[in-house]
Structure 1
Amino acid sequence: MNLISIYKAFLVSILLFSTSVAVAEVEHDFQRLVPNYVSERYTDDLNKLKQRRLIRALVVPSRTDFYIRNGKISGLVVKLLDNYEKSLNKGIKKEDEKIQIVYVPIDFDQLIPYLLDGKGDIAASFITITGARTKLVDFASSHTRTINELVITNRNSNISLSSLEDLAGKEVYVLKGSSYIEHLEQLNKTWPDNPIKIVEAQEHLSSEDIMEMLNEGIIDITVVDDFKANLWAKVLPNIEVRDDLIINSSGFVGWAIRKNNPELKQDLELFKNKVKKGTLLGNILFNQYYGRDQKLANLRSPEEREKFSKHVELFKKYADQYELDYLKLIAQAYQESGLNQHLVSPRGAVGIMQLLPSTAADKNVDVANIKVLENNIHAGTKYMSFLKTRYFDDPEIKVEDQMFFALAAYNAGPANV
């Protein structure tokens, strides 16, 4: 997964939900992102990683665990890894001797393959520990927080489920590469003549995206971990969490490491025990991201919808002029500024599209006075069009992906994509 996929994951549904963060949340610069294609392959254990002063965390984009806001990376996994980085650097005074954790965003189904291939050192996601997976990798887990995998339905659907047996013959749409597939396949052994029709989602869709699809009536049934389902049920009014329909009960989740990295496993387990359920830090972090729904609900509020309505016609106007997708543009603007024309970044980026005045003045953009809302949207759209045409108008790049390349380049720079 490269920067295109990062942006696919963030922009698919950013128009429905906010990525605003809680007070005192850690943020890191966008430069801590390492696309997998520039990540050297190696399988070192902790001592050699310390010599490199670099640990690569494989992460999955998510509105709670790992996301980008205003050019910064945040989330529960980022917070946990930040604390782990501090523990690794305890007692080290010189900045150039400290170990840094960088982030390699990939799709969920690629976590273990990339780990085994040496493209990362920790698969830092909430991965359910299963027999099949433990044959491939080891896990660092505190084994204190148990997870139930629950059936989730659309409460307005005509489908009636009174027991797991009622899933027979029905289509269940689930996260690609997830343990839900393994556990649904085990259920299918119970009724082989009328199996559950397991549909794996496209690789860039998260469980959150799938629940949104369920909420909108696009699909009827999915399976999700209980803590995620219970959080999202607070802001998605049409989803029904079936606590009585459990696909797998009392499972454990953990971060994955290679089997030939015992030092890293031991060190991570020591750290995990400091942030596990029941510890002060562990409870604070979990509740900050999964115990409340305010940050998820922001874009569903009348105020946020009014922001969208207020600006959408201008985005349509300039998207049409430059033959771009206005929804992707407005999603980019929301990620950049929260649709706030008055925002000025520490680097001097201005307005709703967070454009530098020097970029707006460049001959390839040439739009004056970007402190004016319409000019800002015009300049940002024209710059996006320039990026797409100049750098990514290549027949070998799928038309769909050309725009995602441009979106990624808008933040990271075309040389880094």
Structure 2
Amino acid sequence: MKFYIYIIFLSLVFVGCSKKQDEPDDLAQIVARGELRAVTLESATSYYMIGDNEMGFDFALAQNLADQLDVELKVVIASSLNELKQMLRDGKADFAAYKVPATRSVREEFLSTNVEVMSNLVLVQAKNRKPITNVMQLIDKDVYVQRHSQYLTRLKHLNDEIGGGINIKYLSDTLTIEEIMYEVARNKIPFTVADNDVAELGKKYIKNLHIGMPISISLPKAWIVRRNAPDLDSAINRWYSDIEKSKYLRFMTQRYLNRSNYFNNFNMFVLKGNISPYDSLFKANASIAGLDWRLLAAVAYNESRFNPNTVSPNGAMGIMQLMHRTGKRYGLNDSTFFEPADNIKAGARLIASLGKQFAAVKDSAERIKYVLAAYNAGHGHIVDAMNLAKKYKDNPNIWSDNVEKYLLLKSKAKYYNDPVVKLGYFRANHTVKFVKGVVATYEKYKTQKP
């Protein structure tokens, strides 16, 4: 209650005072205009999009903060940490919903909030490469880091500490650490440096990644605000103190930061002679989707393993794994999301809608791959990949080695910053795997059930 009284009081103060032209926005001004502007970076831990849905741990917390302040959240994406800090300086954002390393220069210029984690820097290399266990083994080795980053600063200090010899190679600041770790895992570059928490999460979805020795002590990373916005800093700290031990924060931490294969605890249950316990429902709704019922069943199997009660780490619900907003658009309400009959019907309606949206892909066998990809990733990301295929003179109406290729390339800055791309960064490995999985499952079902 004190938190809300504090906000209302500051709002009244603002209404009673005239704002100078060059006065920076603090909490009262934010509440009065009804909009909280968060600047962040696209990353697996902070912010990304799945379909039309904004996701990410820092994004979810920022949205909760905005809800508590009773204002709208506006997210601004910076291309690098330097740009993020500059946006704060220029007043284009109110705070950074991204955990910025608390270096001396950051502490001097900004206020670090209590939304923080402790993390040390680690060496990252491919699992199939002989591990580095001693800093002296880095002599004559190439280590790649972003040009303007805390990783470079620490690597230079380490190089001085051992008397030199590390070959420091520079990468663009616009590359995400996830992109760089992918290059390491593919053996395109030998070594990089990352925050331990980011590297640990990356290891869960990037194969052939090894987290090596620490190269720094543990230091804080935190959301930051401008020094001339102390009331916003105080409000963030009060809000975070309220949620720090809450079920909400534990749930979001589990959802975004402790992800594992959330199907592991659900064993597929198949009745003898059937594909699933819900065959009659798939058959009843196949005509809505315009699909063989076994293909509709294959979608459900790959989405939920036929578990009608599952909720994914991204918030998708039920046997067909529909996001809340999407499910409501296709007929679900809060009481029917976990009802197999209703969830399957809504999934079939979504598939039918996607089929119409990709009508330009004339070959039905090709079109279904677009539909499956859009079902998993959202229509917009697939259109982006089609636009890239067309621009680079590949075939936008062929999936394999064409649109599929450009969907995967949307995790690279060159492609997600291309003018023909509307939805920006996307990590497509899961979507590509999903399409292949559904097609393979369908082929299997065709041989065992007419």
- Same fold judged by TM-score > 0.5? yes
The residue aligned with 2:283 is none
1:67 is aligned to 2:37: no
Residue 251 of structure 2: which of 284, 296, 301 is its match? 284
The residue aligned with 1:220 is 190
The residue aligned with 1:164 is 135
Are residues 387 and 166 of structure 1, via their aligned partners in 2, closer, same or farther at CA, if it must alter by over 3 Å?
A: closer
Partner amino acid, structure 2, of 1:53: G
The residue aligned with 2:150 is 179
The residue aligned with 1:272 is 240
Partner amino acid, structure 2, of 1:374: R
Residue 231 of structure 2: which of 259, 263, 275 is its match? 263
- 1:291-350 deviations in whole A, cap 9, x for unaligned? 1233799xxxxxxxxxxxxxxxxxxxxxxxxxxxxxxxxxxxxxxxxxx9x999639997
Cα offset, 1:135, TM superposition: 2.3
1:233 is aligned to 2:217: no
Cα offset, 1:210, TM superposition: 1.3
Pairwise mapping of residues 110-189 of structure 1 onto structure 2 (< 5 A)?
110-142=83-115, 145-157=117-129, 161-175=132-146, 177-189=148-160
CA RMSD across the alignment: 4.1
- 1:29-48 deviations in whole A, cap 9, x for unaligned? xxxxxxxxxxxx98311111
Cα offset, 1:267, TM superposition: 0.9
Partner amino acid, structure 2, of 1:52: R
The residue aligned with 2:422 is 408
Count of residues paired in the alignment: 297
The residue aligned with 1:12 is none
TM-score, normalising length: structure 2: 0.56
Q: Which whole-Å CA distance do the structure 1 matches of 2:202 and 2:67 have between them?
A: 31
Moved more, 281-290 or 64-73: 281-290
- Using CA pairs below 8 Å that are at least 6 residues apart, which structure has the higher relative contact order? 1
Q: Which whole-Å CA distance do the structure 2 matches of 1:120 and 1:176 have between them?
A: 24
Residues 36 and 66, structure 2, Cα contact 8 Å, conserved in 1:
no
Cα offset, 1:161, TM superposition: 2.2
% of aligned pairs identical?
21
Q: Which whole-Å CA distance do the structure 2 matches of 1:214 and 1:368 have between them?
A: 36
Are residues 380 and 69 of structure 1, via their aligned partners in 2, closer, same or farther at CA, if it must alter by over 3 Å?
A: closer
Please state whether the residue corresponding to 1:223 is helix, strand or coil. Answer: strand
Q: Which whole-Å CA distance do the structure 2 matches of 1:382 and 1:150 have between them?
A: 34
Residues 112 and 256, structure 1, Cα contact 8 Å, conserved in 2:
no
Unaligned 5+ runs, structure 1: 1-40, 90-98, 298-339, 361-366, 390-399, 412-417
Residues 361 and 367, structure 2, Cα contact 8 Å, conserved in 1:
no
Q: Which whole-Å CA distance do the structure 2 matches of 1:263 and 1:42 have between them?
A: 14
Residues 384 and 410, structure 1, Cα contact 8 Å, conserved in 2:
no
Q: Which whole-Å CA distance do the structure 1 matches of 2:424 and 2:221 have between them?
A: 35
1:108 is aligned to 2:80: yes
Unaligned 5+ runs, structure 2: 1-21, 265-319, 332-348, 372-381, 393-413, 426-450
Q: Which whole-Å CA distance do the structure 2 matches of 1:369 and 1:69 have between them?
A: 26
Partner amino acid, structure 1, of 2:251: I
- 1:343-373 deviations in whole A, cap 9, x for unaligned? 996399975995875x97xxxxxx4989885
Residues 368 and 375, structure 1, Cα contact 8 Å, conserved in 2:
no
Are residues 410 and 251 of structure 1, via their aligned partners in 2, closer, same or farther at CA, if it must alter by over 3 Å?
A: closer
Q: Which whole-Å CA distance do the structure 1 matches of 2:156 and 2:263 have between them?
A: 32
Residue 54 of structure 1: which of 23, 35, 46 is its match? 35
Q: Which whole-Å CA distance do the structure 1 matches of 2:385 and 2:168 have between them?
A: 43
Partner amino acid, structure 1, of 2:61: L
Highest CA radius of gyration, 1 or 2? Answer: 2
Pairwise mapping of residues 11-50 of structure 1 onto structure 2 (< 5 A)?
43-50=24-31
- 1:92-135 deviations in whole A, cap 9, x for unaligned? xxxxxxx1111111223221111112211111112111112222
Partner amino acid, structure 1, of 2:233: K
Residues 214 and 220, structure 1, Cα contact 8 Å, conserved in 2:
yes
- 1:43-89 deviations in whole A, cap 9, x for unaligned? 31111111111111111112342111121211211210121112212
Provide runs of 4+ in structure 1 moved above 4 Å.
342-345, 347-357, 367-373, 375-383, 385-389, 400-403
Partner amino acid, structure 2, of 1:285: M
Partner amino acid, structure 2, of 1:56: R
Are residues 292 and 376 of structure 1, via their aligned partners in 2, closer, same or farther at CA, if it must alter by over 3 Å?
A: closer
Q: Which whole-Å CA distance do the structure 1 matches of 2:370 and 2:209 have between them?
A: 36
Q: Which whole-Å CA distance do the structure 1 matches of 2:187 and 2:388 have between them?
A: 34
Partner amino acid, structure 1, of 2:189: I
